Structure 1
Amino acid sequence: MGLLDLFFVASMPVIRVLLLTALGSFLALDRIDILGDVVRKQLNTVVFFVFNPALVYSNLANTITLDRMVLLWFMPLNILTVCIIGSALGLLLVKTTRAPQHLKGLILGSCAAGNMGNMPLIIIPAVCREKGSPFGAPDVCHTFAMAYASLSMAIGAICLWSYVYNIVRVFSSNAREGINLHNSPINMNRESLLASGDCSISEEYPHQFTLPHPLSEENLQIVGFIIGMVPHLRKLIIGGTAPLHVVQDSASLLGDAAIPSIILIMGGNLLKGLKGSGIQLSFIVGILAVRFIFLPLLGIIIVKGALRFGLVHPDPLFQFVLLLQYAVPPAINLGTIIQLFGAGESECSVIMLWTYGLASVSLTLWSTLFMWLVS
């Protein structure tokens, strides 16, 4: 396929995201107030505790087997590589721009933590459905695309809440006054923090911490892996003739609501960035350069090098997913971590506005190049 054809295929998913994002922003306007702050927080709670876990569980259980996990072993290493390289480039940016203490964690987190879950789940299956997709039959491509994207979401969440969380904690600790972070447990009250998709501190529960909810995404990811890799459980639940296939069907039905809900919430949250915060332009330009120029270029070298040495199996769709992990904007849940430590909340909204606004162009161009490289 020519580059122009690939550009058209790559642009369609991004245009869909832009349309739904614009709709979310419109519904969140004060004069409309259908998707206001309270509604977004409540919907985000449902997404985090119901839709996202159902989506990840249903796709992992349906397509991930023990044999396939052996073939996909490079993905965890790839995501870890993204985090390490991103944090190194972020540290260089912090040193170069002489960022103030309260913004160091935000800058490092923005460079290190990419949106490994939502963006691949939106873009990759949509590319499969486009006419002229280089990844073969749409149905087969869509099935494996959802599996790869769900695995990316699962591993990305672990990286975000362990590696990136602690980076932000270390660099934000000196900026906080009157709060002893060293005595605080890592697991936070996600109902009060993650339910807020913006980058502001929750007024009702500003520093409340509890153990993870039993229906949290991380717990159901494990369930999906177990069902997928244990043959007897697969026969019991997966497939149209399975005795308990209604469980899988119900989870898939719930999971289908995750992606449109996430995009609408994101559109509403990005309105906060329009108000500005006085953040230096050099910080924004540096983060954009790291996420949309340097990381994708390094990603091509790393993935193609791994393929050359036989570390990655020659599946074009899998290679495309690995490359895309280097080109996504910062993780939306980074705002949750920032609000936990109370350093750079307003600046976070501006960074999210710029990065997700320009991601529409960047992801289209990089996706076009990535498809050309793997096809």
Structure 2
Amino acid sequence: MEILKLFVIALMPNLKVLLLTVLGSFLAMNRFNILSESAINNMNTMVYFVFSPALACSSLASTITLRSLIALWFMPFCIVLTVVVGTALGWLLVKITRVPYHLRGLVLGCCAVGNLGNLPLMVVPAICEEKSNPFGDKNLCYKNGMAYASLSLALASILVWSFAYNIIRMYSTTKNISNEKVASESDAKTLPKCSAQTMAIETDETSHNNNSEDHHEIETYVVPDAKKKMVNICNILEKEKVIKYLKMLCKWSNLKQLFPPTLIGALVGLIIGVVPQFRHLIVGVSAPLFVLQDSIIMIGNACLPAMTMLVGANLLEGLKGERVKFSVLFGIIVVRNIALPVLGVATVKGAVHFGIIHHDPLYEFVLLLQFALPPAVAISTSIQLFGIGKGECSIIMLATYSFAAVSLTLWCTLFIWLVL
């Protein structure tokens, strides 16, 4: 009976995610067309530039302090461990299943980064609000749970938009770079032709100079004009080639790609939460600039339902004919729902056993939960922004979240039983 109660407690948050996903699919149907293709693209842009940075900033600023950041040092370690191991297993999966080149970033991102933002913010507070929650006082559980989940969200935002996003960008822009290389090679091939034609003109000029004086007068005007045209064409091609190389260099050194909006929002929120002067000025009902924090919280609250509905809307596109190898789907499910949770149990319980972290059931549960989450929904947003592999991403999300509806509930039940 105790296990059955734990199972029901763990099931409720997952049902919320499923309901929002189904709502997104419902709104994207052709019959209603509320989430049309243009609406989905605009919504993805809003999530990337507005909602996600606001959520990361408000969550960190209101819940994280310097003392709590030091006390929760093991959480960043566990999250980085999931990314490193997930990436390694994902790369092994790519090699074994021979994933197409343009989809490698998608597969690596799905294996590397889990839904560390949405699900903990839904699962942990929902469990604390249950009448028979296993973590003690409801209010204390909710406060501490939100702090843990907010830190998880901030770290996830940094990893998704700096690591997974750039992996997807790298593989999605390879085709464009190769096209530029082909164009550059064609320009390089054209330059010798220009030189050869110029030499031919000079030769013709020399031969014509040996002819009669009448021909010499004609060549004096015609040949220099033709020569000038060919020289100008060659100079233009050389300038275009230099410009293309400069553009390629700018693409790889663009600081905007290294500091996405969510990362900037997380850093701002971390500074506000850690620095006491900023915290007293902005955070709290009695703070002079509380209206600023309240506005950011209102904007950030739209992030979770928007991203979850976008996953549901993108599922329909994946059901229109796109196909993904069963071995790829099976591999991602094994990595995210079996291999990483087993690693999490060994890591967290080992840390408690050797005294690396103090015994706190709720903290341990959040750490274990981070190992058992399906792929981050922000990966779907990244795919939408680049426009490559949208159908395949929808299929992967459909398969992983359908399986996670069962596996995550079972893992949560086991995790609660282990930490109590």
What TM-score comes out, normalization by structure 2 length? 0.76
State how 1:196-235 maps to structure 2 within 5 Å.
211=256, 216-235=261-280
State how 1:81-100 maps to structure 2 within 5 Å.
81-100=81-100
Aligned counterpart in structure 2 of residue 321 of structure 1, from 359, 366, 386: 366
Distance 1:91 1:258, change over 3 A: closer
Distance 1:141 1:77, change over 3 A: same
Per-residue CA deviation, residues 134-181 of structure 1 (Å, 9 max, x unaligned), is 222333322222222222122122223444345556666766641569
Letter of the structure 1 residue corresponding to residue 20 of structure 2: L
Structure 2 unaligned blocks of 5 or more: 182-246
Letter of the structure 2 residue corresponding to residue 298 of structure 1: L
Distance 1:81 1:186, change over 3 A: farther
**1:111 equivalent in structure 2:** 111
Structure 1 unaligned blocks of 5 or more: 188-208
**1:58 equivalent in structure 2:** 58
C-alpha contact (below 8 Å) 2:311/2:380 kept by paired residues: no
Distance 1:8 1:68, change over 3 A: same
What TM-score comes out, normalization by structure 1 length? 0.84
Letter of the structure 1 residue corresponding to residue 25 of structure 2: S
C-alpha contact (below 8 Å) 2:345/2:368 kept by paired residues: yes
Aligned equivalents of 1:344 and 1:28: distance in 2? 18
What SS does structure 2 have at the residue aligned with 1:141? helix
Distance 1:44 1:139, change over 3 A: farther
What SS does structure 1 have at the residue aligned with 2:304? helix
**2:179 equivalent in structure 1:** 178
**2:326 equivalent in structure 1:** 281
Q: 1:66 Cα deviation (Å)?
A: 0.7
Q: 1:70 Cα deviation (Å)?
A: 0.5
Q: 1:67 Cα deviation (Å)?
A: 0.7
**1:75 equivalent in structure 2:** 75
Aligned equivalents of 2:354 and 2:93: distance in 1? 32
**2:220 equivalent in structure 1:** none
Name the count of aligned residue pairs. Answer: 354
Of 144-153 and 75-84, deviating more is 144-153
Distance 1:339 1:130, change over 3 A: same
Aligned equivalents of 1:281 and 1:351: distance in 2? 10
1:25 maps onto 2:25 in alignment? yes
Q: 1:361 Cα deviation (Å)?
A: 1.2
State how 1:1-375 maps to structure 2 within 5 Å.
2-165=2-165, 167-168=167-168, 177-179=178-180, 183=249, 185=251, 211=256, 216-338=261-383, 344-375=389-420
Q: 1:340 Cα deviation (Å)?
A: 6.8
C-alpha contact (below 8 Å) 1:55/1:252 kept by paired residues: yes
Greater helix percent: which structure?
2
C-alpha contact (below 8 Å) 2:3/2:413 kept by paired residues: yes
Matched-pair identity in %: 51
What SS does structure 2 have at the residue aligned with 1:185? helix
What SS does structure 1 have at the residue aligned with 2:93? helix
Of 172-181 and 8-17, deviating more is 172-181
* Aligned alpha-carbon RMSD (Å): 2.8
Of 97-106 and 238-247, deviating more is 97-106
Distance 1:278 1:58, change over 3 A: closer
Of 66-75 and 111-120, deviating more is 111-120
Of 265-274 and 167-176, deviating more is 167-176
Q: 1:237 Cα deviation (Å)?
A: 2.3
Q: 1:354 Cα deviation (Å)?
A: 0.8
